[in-house]
Amino acid sequence: MSAELTARTAILAALGGDETLAGLLNQIADGEPVKASPPWLLVGASVGTGWGARGVDGVTLRQTLELTLRGDQLSAVTTILERIDAVLRAMDGELGDWRVTSLRFERSRIRRSGTEWRAGADYVLRMARLT
For the whole model, what pTM was predicted?
Answer: 0.92
User: Domains in the chain and their CATH numbers?
Assistant: 3-129 (3.30.2000.30)
d(C-alpha 86, C-alpha 15), whole Å: 10
The number of C-alpha atoms within 13 Å of 110 and in the hemisphere containing its C-beta is 10
The residues near 38 (Cβ < 8 Å, ≥ 6 apart) are 26, 68, 69, 70, 116
pLDDT tens-digit series, residues 10-38: 999 999 999 999 999 999 999 888 887 89
SS3 state of residue 47: strand
What does the pLDDT look like over 70-123, one tens digit per residue?
A: 988 888 999 999 999 999 999 999 999 999 999 999 999 999 988 899 999 999
Cα separation, 50 vs 34, in Å, equals 32
**Among 39, 36, 33, 43, which Cα is nearest to 21's?**
39
